[in-house]
Amino acid sequence: MTHRPFIMVAPNGARRGKADHPALPLTTTEIVETARACKAAGADGLHLHVRDEAGAHSLDAGRYRETLDELARVVPGLRLQITTEAVGIYDVAQQLDCLEQVRPGWASIAVRETARDMELAPSVYAACAEMGCEVQHILYDTEDIATLKRWQAEGIVRPGQDSVLFVLGRYAVGQTSDPAELDPFLTDLPDAPSWMLCAFGPQEHACLAAAAKRGGNLRVGFENSLVAADGQPHPDNAASVAALCDLLERSTS
């Protein structure tokens, strides 16, 4: 493997809490400390979710700005991406409002969520283009790829907004993703100039190592998997990042 993948840690996501893993970071302080440890372990970037006072998923612009500022101060050099994930709470207008208020340098946007409001979909991508925000399209299956291709052809997605994240698996009891599940994505989108993979379940690292061998970048962390291949929980996000880096290094030796 000659490709050195970009490694982004997704340390918490929108759905999990302390009951799922005591080291899952929820507060700004916890997220920043996790980011520091993950950068030291080999992470190049961080996929950021913020939570409200009750620990629930939030797209609050103030919380985002506060956490982004603190991350930039403590872990300079770590690339920061915010999520616009709806999680059944937010509509497209609220997602767009979050983007316009935060004005992030990088954001993930789920194609299927944006498709809920086709009147606003063009505005989402136009706003990102205007503010210079890099877009990473979240793609859950080949139907999402077909939608993205159509939007690109129609000009809804702007030129240069071509980075994608392929998602293997879902939140489900007993979910185990398999590296072979990457094949349909690459078959339908073989020329993606920048693609990343995340995978749910105990085969997370195996899926990511397979993606690295095929030229992909990687997203790892407690948003997608709390456990190693043997089913044992990782001590924390940094331990998962370190284990992935070790696996990648061994696969090249």
Q: What is the pLDDT of residue 174?
A: 52
Q: What is the pLDDT of residue 229?
A: 94
State the DSSP H helix or E strand holding residue 195, giving kind and residue range, or none if neither.
Answer: strand 194-199
Q: What is the pLDDT of residue 178?
A: 86
Q: What is the pLDDT of residue 169?
A: 78
Q: What is the pLDDT of residue 175?
A: 52
Q: What is the pLDDT of residues 88-101, one digit of tens each?
A: 999 999 999 999 99
Q: What is the pLDDT of residue 22?
A: 98
Rounded to whole angstroms, how far apart are CA atoms 22 and 18?
5
Ranges of the chain whose pLDDT falls below 70: 1-3, 170-176, 253
Set out the domains of the chain in order of their start, with CATH numbers: 7-252 (3.20.20.70)
Global pTM reads: 0.95
Q: What is the pLDDT of residue 2?
A: 53
Q: Provide the residue count of the chain.
A: 253
Mean pLDDT for all residues in the chain: 95
Rounded to whole angstroms, how far apart are CA atoms 7 and 243?
12
Rounded to whole angstroms, how far apart are CA atoms 98 and 137?
17
Q: What is the pLDDT of residue 171?
A: 45
Does the CA dihedral 4-44-223-103 come out positive or negative? Answer: negative
Q: What is the pLDDT of residue 179?
A: 86
